Amino acid sequence: MSGLVEVAKESGLKPDVVANIFETILAMTANGDLVRIKGFGTFQRRKYKGRTLRTPAVNNGEPITYPDSFVLKFHQSTLAKRRINIVAKKAEKAAKDAAAASATAKPKKQKKADKASTPPPAAKKKKPRPEPAADEE
Is 14 within the bounds of a domain?
Answer: yes
CATH assignment of the domain containing 81: 4.10.520.10
Is 125 within the bounds of a domain?
Answer: no
pLDDT the model gives residue 113:
59
Report, as ranges of residue numbers, the positions in the chain whose pLDDT lies below 70. 1, 105-124, 133-137
- Cα 48–30–28 angle (5° rounding)? 140
pLDDT the model gives residue 121:
67
Q: Which of 21, 29, 15 is nearest to 75 (CA)?
A: 29
DSSP assignments along 57-100, one per residue? TSGGG--EEE--EEEEEEEE-HHHHHHHHHHHHHHHHHHHHHHH
pLDDT the model gives residue 110:
60
Residue 82: domain span: 4-97
Is residue 26 within 8 Å of residue 72, measured between CB atoms? yes
Is 118 within the bounds of a domain?
Answer: no
In whole angstroms, give the CA distance from residue 52 to residue 66.
6
Query: How many domains would you assign to the chain?
Result: 1
Is 62 within the bounds of a domain?
Answer: yes
In whole angstroms, give the CA distance from residue 21 to residue 73.
17
Is 128 within the bounds of a domain?
Answer: no
DSSP 42: E
- Cα 94–100–105 angle (5° rounding)? 130
pLDDT the model gives residue 39:
93
